[in-house]
Chain A
Amino acid sequence: MTTATDSEGGTLAVEIWRGKDAGQFETYTVPQRANQTVLDVVTWIQRHAEPALAYRFACRVGVCGSCAMTVNGKPRWTCRTHVSKVAGEGALRIEPLRNLPRLKDLAVDMTPFFEKWQRAQGRFTPTRTRNDPLTTVSPQSAGRKAADAGIECINCAVCYSACDVVGWDDGYLGPAALNRAWTLVNDERDGDRAGVLKAASSGGGCHSCHTHGSCVEHCPVGINPTAGIAGLKRWSIVELLGGKLP
């Protein structure tokens, strides 16, 4: 151990949800360390106090989007959330993400989240083969700029968990899937942009958004899904008026 990770002497009182829908909070005492993240705390508990604790992580550096949990009431990426930022009085309460079926402890079933990506046609439709030359897309084009603004999504489901409309309406596609659809309708290489727009603006699509902006507030990588969803609303109305959207 280096001095940077040595204990600062204090301890944290960490409440963690144990169980599935029926369950209870268990409290663990965890040594406080400098530059400790919430994921470090969960991992410490799993290694030293509760080997059966279920949670999910992979990269630990904010790229894979696996480790999102509800921390002191807010959805967060735990690997990049410093304890010092969120544990007011040295207390943490860690729960699974909202709006997704619980599996065990801090792990949720991400299936509905990814199924909705497919329903929103959040996948690239190619028009060329590997033998064709690469398409040149101007970085200055409006479409490229709009796609760039939303393309860095890490699929962590923090926005999906923060969204009120997802909580109210099971059929709503949610901010992440619609943000992906927005990047695709702006991608001039995509072979079925009309299909993406139709999928993203059908029932449960962009027009269900109430523009609360909870997704924008909580997105850990600073994406603004509400702006993309507003773009989809605008675009689909223009296409509808032009008779291009069935």
Chain B
Amino acid sequence: MIRPARNHPGFWAFVAHRVSGVALALFLPLHFLVLGLALESGDALDRMLAVADRPVFKIAEWGLVVLLTVHLCAGLRVMALEFLPWRDTRKGLIGIGAAIALLVGALFMLRAG
């Protein structure tokens, strides 16, 4: 079996899109579970929110924001490629998306700090 030649930005953009999508899909049920606590009792939600104030959750929150930005930018890129007239900006769009994700991540960290 020959390993495919994949080491180029287009493939890595696909991987980032797919991995961030799967990670967000895994996060969502947990998110709804926590929100669902409010239906049971305010106390249960408050206890969970106190847990979520720990630093490790802040880091996870930062990861979530970055994942969301990566997924959003990758999705917009694919839509731009497929629905706008082609201008050979394939790698440029990947660069712009990565830059936006880094910027949003940095801003979130500054705000949290």
| Residues on A facing B (Cβ under 8 Å) | 70, 73-75, 95, 98, 162, 164, 167, 210-214, 216-218, 224, 226-227, 230-231, 233-234
Q: Are A211 and B88 in touch, CB under 8 angstroms? A: no
Interface of A is mostly: helix
Where the two chains meet, the residues of B that have a C-beta atom closer than 8 Å to any C-beta of A are 2-6, 8-11, 14, 78, 81-83, 86, 88, 90
Say yes or no: B11 contacts A212, CB within 8 Å.
yes
- Per the bound structure, the CA–CA distance linking A150 and B111 in Å amounts to 49
Q: Given A74-B5, A164-B4, verify A214-B10 contact (CB < 8 Å).
A: yes
Pick the contact of A230: B3, B11, B14, B81 (CB < 8 A). B81
Q: A213-B90, A234-B83 are in contact. Are A167 and B14 (CB under 8 A)?
A: no
Among residues of B, the one whose C-beta sits closest to the C-beta of A217 is B8
In the bound complex, residues from chain A placing their C-beta under 8 Å from that of B82 are 211, 230, 233-234
B3 CB contact (under 8 Å) in A73, A233, A234: A73
Contact yes or no, A217 B86, CB < 8 A:
no
Contacts of B88 in A (CB 8 A): 224, 227
B5 and A75 contact, CB distance less than 8 A: yes
Closest 4 CB pairs of A and B: A213-B10, A227-B86, A74-B5, A217-B8
A98 in complex: contacting residue of B4, B78, B86, CB < 8 Å: B4
Known: A214-B6, A214-B8, A226-B10. 6 other contacts (CB 8 A): A73-B5, A98-B2, A211-B78, A212-B11, A217-B5, A230-B81
CB distance from B49 to the nearest CB of A (A): 40
Q: Is the CB of A73 within 8 A of B2?
A: yes
- Minimal beta-carbon separation of B94 from chain A (angstroms): 10
Of A218, A227, A230, A234, the contact of B5 (CB 8 Å cutoff): A218
A210 to B75, CA, bound (A): 12
Q: What residue of chain A has the Cβ atom nearest to residue B5's Cβ?
A: A74
Residue of A with least CB distance to B1: A98
Complex Cα–Cα for A218 and B6 (A): 10
In the complex, what's the smallest C-beta–C-beta distance from B73 to chain A, in angstroms? 14
Q: List 17 A-B contacts (CB under 8 A).
A: A74-B5, A75-B5, A162-B5, A164-B4, A164-B11, A210-B14, A211-B78, A213-B9, A213-B90, A214-B4, A214-B10, A216-B90, A224-B86, A226-B10, A226-B90, A231-B86, A234-B83
